[in-house]
Structures are given as structure tokens and as C-alpha cells.
Amino acid sequence: MTTDRPVEDALRGRVPLTAASYAVITRGDGIDGEVLLQLRSATDFMDGWWACGAAGHIEDAAAASVALATEVREELDVEVVTARPLTALQRGCLISPLEQRADYFFHVTELSGEPRLAEPDKAAELRWWPLRSLPDRVVPHERVVIEALVRELEGGEVVPSIIEVGFDQHLTLVAAMGTNRAIGVDGGMPWHLPEDLRHFKEVTMGGVMVMGRRTWDSIGRALPGRTTIVVTSDRSWSAPGAEVAHSLPEALSIGGDREVFIVGGGEIYAQTIGVASALEITHIDASPEAEVFFPEIDPGTWREAAREPRDGFAFVRYERIPLHPLPSEG
């Protein structure tokens, strides 16, 4: 697990965790059984993704088990009869103090009756899914727990008592910019540089890319060999080959604990450069008219790790200067 990662000033010091309880509800014979999931809708987070049968914030200083019973009653109109603590999951998010979470998961194996969708304003569907065949779009941190339970039921390792999610993610910003930091004009780039496009492909191939809607429109399609996550406030928008997120924290949650490439536009660069670990910048020897600009690259924060000069431009990799430099060898 990464222990020295960049964080915004808002995440330094004592950042409170928001607590919630989750019901992983199963029926049937072990691994051949089913798990109850609800399809999130109109919740402003991960809508269109499948989630645990019931979940909610712990309120009024209640115990996690009390919150569990309350959420099952309110969302499914049944009572919990048999449940056991499954795991505690801590979630981190690089950019938001509001997304630092402590989630308590319970394995519920017996209810008082047949669950029904009691809050249709928050979920579009309630369905039993085979544990061996989960849907593709399960809320990422909930999938981690359900898959851990599946492994346990298959005779593998017991579900860990504590699971940490979001702490091994690191961001790399990828951009081409002029000497005036110009990156965009008229919905596209101020230049056409085939060699930079090849470099972009080499850097991002096989990875996860996060971009804004206007950047997607300028590209016009999903690029092969990469996962594309598009951040947009338009809840009706979709496009073939694109995973849609309605906020940057949601996009980073989908991105997972790995290197995530931030590829535009200017607003998303500005929101993420403060927590990025690396920059892959094509410096172009031109100062064109532009509408969108890359943030300042502070030499007190970033050091050049590699430079490849070309005719009229250079590929430069920057790495963040550690807050606590490693001791020199001697």
C-alpha cells in the first residue's frame, strides 16, 4: 500500500470519516446462492450502477448494527433476522474531504419476509443475482466486498476484517501545451502534431483515462486499448465505449486503485494537478491564441524526471517533489 501520496491541503490533519452501514444480503446454498442488489437511481452518486440490497449513513450516533436494521427496514420493508459483521472498509478520495468514508458491511442471511423496493425514488430495480455471475456495473467498493465474500464461500481466504480502497490510486496528467500554457481553442487543440498523438497513445495505452465532456467531443470516439471515463453533468448523456461519471470523485472511484491518466480539459486539470503524482507534458515551441490553458507547473513542486527533445517540441515527464525527501545514500 502506498503511504506517501500527494493530498490537497483540505485532506491534511484530522479529516472526519463519514460512516455508513451496508447489507450484503444472500440466499441459497453458499457459493451457489444469490445476492440481492438494487439499481441506483436519482441519488447523485453512481446512478445506473448495482449496489448492495440496502445501505445508508449512520445517523444520530447510532451503532452500525442499528443503522443496518434501520436501512433494511426502510429500503426493503423487512426486518433483519440473522446477520454477522463482514468487514470494515475505509475509502479514500484524492480530491474530496467529503468522500473519506468508513463503511461497515454485514452479511445478512435471513430476513423476516420477502424484500421489496420500498424507496423507488432512490432505486430503479431490485434483483437477486447469482453470486457466481455478478453484473458488470457494481459500485466499485461494494464489488470489492462482495467478491471477497465469494472467495470465502468458495473455500478461499476469509474476508479481511479491514479493507482499504482508494489509497493506492495515483494520477498522471497528460497534455500538450504551448509556451503560454495554451492547450485548447475552438473545441480542439491549437495544432496538429502526429508525433504527439503517437506519444499520447504510448503513454496511455492499456490504462484508464478520465476526461471532461468537451475533451471527449474533441476526440469524437473511444480510443482503443484504454478505458475511458467521461465526466459530465448531463445525466442523459452516453456514448459507445465511454463510462459516464457525474462528478470527479465518482470518476476516480470508477478508475480504481491504479494509475489514472487525466487527459483534459482545463477545468479537470486544475482540479487534479494539486494531487497528481506525475505530469506527461509535450512542450510545444509556440504561443497560439487559445481559450483553455494548463495550470502553472510550479518548479518548487515538480522536477523534471525525463526530457526527449524533438524538432519544435519536447516530451517532458515531471514527478512531484516529495514532501519529505528520502535520505541520501552514503
Please state the pTM of the whole predicted model: 0.91
Residue 330 confidence class, pLDDT cut points 50, 70, 90: very low
pLDDT of residue 4: 61
Q: Is 280 exposed, middle or buried (0-12, 13-18, 19+ CB in 10 A)?
A: buried
pLDDT at 326 over 60: no
Domains and CATH numbers, the chain: 9-165 (3.90.79.10), 170-320 (3.40.430.10)
pLDDT of residue 325: 52
13-27 pLDDT per residue, tens = 888 999 999 999 999
CA distance 198 to 169: 25
- CA 110 remoteness from chain centre: 32
Grid cell digits, residue 21: 452501514
- CA 60 remoteness from chain centre: 29
Q: What is the mean pLDDT of residues 257-286?
A: 97
Check: CB of residue 230 under 8 Å from CB of residue 245.
Answer: yes
Residue 1 confidence class, pLDDT cut points 50, 70, 90: very low
Characterize the bridge pairing of strands 50-52 and 34-40: antiparallel
C-beta contacts of 66-69 below 8 A and 24+ residues apart: 67/20, 67/21, 67/104, 68/21, 68/22, 68/23, 68/104, 68/106, 68/108
3-class SS at 98? helix
